[in-house]
């Protein structure tokens, strides 16, 4: 029986690339997301290589999450790796100008959704035991603040600390937990954040080489296939072209 990866947010970006990577290596994959047409297309693509099960899922809805996990087909029940990828950034404007609904959406997706899926799958992962992995997709924003990051960065700081605390609780079960924190990556991330502003997205990546979704998928697979006695607590991955800036200092004219 092949290993099974459960991947949230599989309709684009890191999640879709992860599904392709795990399937290409013979893993069975469970893919979820909110856009059914994309899930169907990805499922059709992956089915040529490996067993795949897809289901439309809003991770913010705990009842929906629990029902899906409980109703997984028998051949997909034994989860070896959970990739908690569903998440988003909104409102890159200063906090004082942001619509509160955008803050709530980020909290509900990046925090509530992540804990819903994790809680529902913990019994399965513990039963799998040695070699099982939880890969939580965080961000460098969870460690390094910048203007306009406000609730997004705070939500990713939650991902980091939640991952560390899970490690403490899961000690002795064989289940590994990693906070995978990417830097700038050329996906639909900025389009979503700017609500479809293609020019803003193009400007962000112009003249530099950002990470690709496939780079992060390769990293996920590496983490999931390390020898069972190795746990990477946190992995921060930036493109070579990205580094830190000096502190900002306000000066009176």
Q: Which positions are catalytic?
A: 152
DSSP 159: H
**Residue 83 is inside which H or E element, if any?**
strand 79-84
Q: Name the residue among 235, 185, 213 with its Cα closest to residue 21.
A: 213
Cβ partners under 8 Å of residue 197, min gap 6:
190, 191
181 contacts 161 by C-beta, under 8 angstroms:
no
Q: Name the residue among 206, 211, 208, 207 with its Cα closest to residue 186.
A: 211
Burial class (CB in 10 A: 0-12, 13-18, 19+), 167: middle
Q: Which residues pair with 108 in a beta bridge?
A: none
Q: Name the residue among 189, 176, 99 with its Cα closest to residue 141.
A: 189
Cα(56)–Cα(64) distance, integer angstroms: 10
């Amino acid at each position: 029986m092949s290993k099974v990866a459960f991947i949230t947010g599989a309709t684009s970006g890191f999640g879709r690339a992860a599904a392709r990577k795990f399937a290409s290596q013979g893993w069975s994959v469970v893919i979820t997301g909110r856009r059914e047409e994309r899930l169907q297309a990805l499922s059709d693509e992956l089915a040529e290589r490996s067993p795949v099960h897809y289901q439309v899922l809003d991770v913010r809805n705990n009842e929906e999450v629990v029902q899906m996990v409980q109703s997984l087909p028998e051949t997909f029940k034994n989860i070896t790796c959970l990739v908690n990828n569903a998440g988003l950034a909104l409102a890159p404007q200063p906090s004082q100008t942001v619509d509160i609904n955008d803050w709530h959406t980020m909290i509900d997706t990046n925090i509530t959704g992540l804990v819903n899926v994790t809680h529902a799958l913990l019994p399965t992962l513990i039963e799998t035991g040695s070699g099982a992995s939880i890969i939580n997709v965080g961000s460098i924003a969870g460690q390094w603040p910048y203007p306009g990051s406000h609730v997004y960065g705070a939500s990713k700081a939650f991902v980091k600390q939640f991952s560390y605390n899970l490690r403490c609780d899961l000690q002795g079960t064989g289940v590994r937990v990693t906070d995978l924190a990417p830097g700038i990556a050329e996906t639909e991330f900025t389009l979503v954040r700017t609500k479809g502003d293609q020019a803003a997205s193009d400007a962000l990546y112009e003249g530099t080489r950002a990470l690709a979704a496939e780079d992060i998928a390769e990293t996920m697979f590496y983490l999931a296939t390390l020898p069972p006695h190795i746990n990477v607590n946190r992995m921060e991955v930036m493109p070579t072209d990205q580094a830190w800036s000096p502190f900002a200092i306000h000066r009176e004219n």
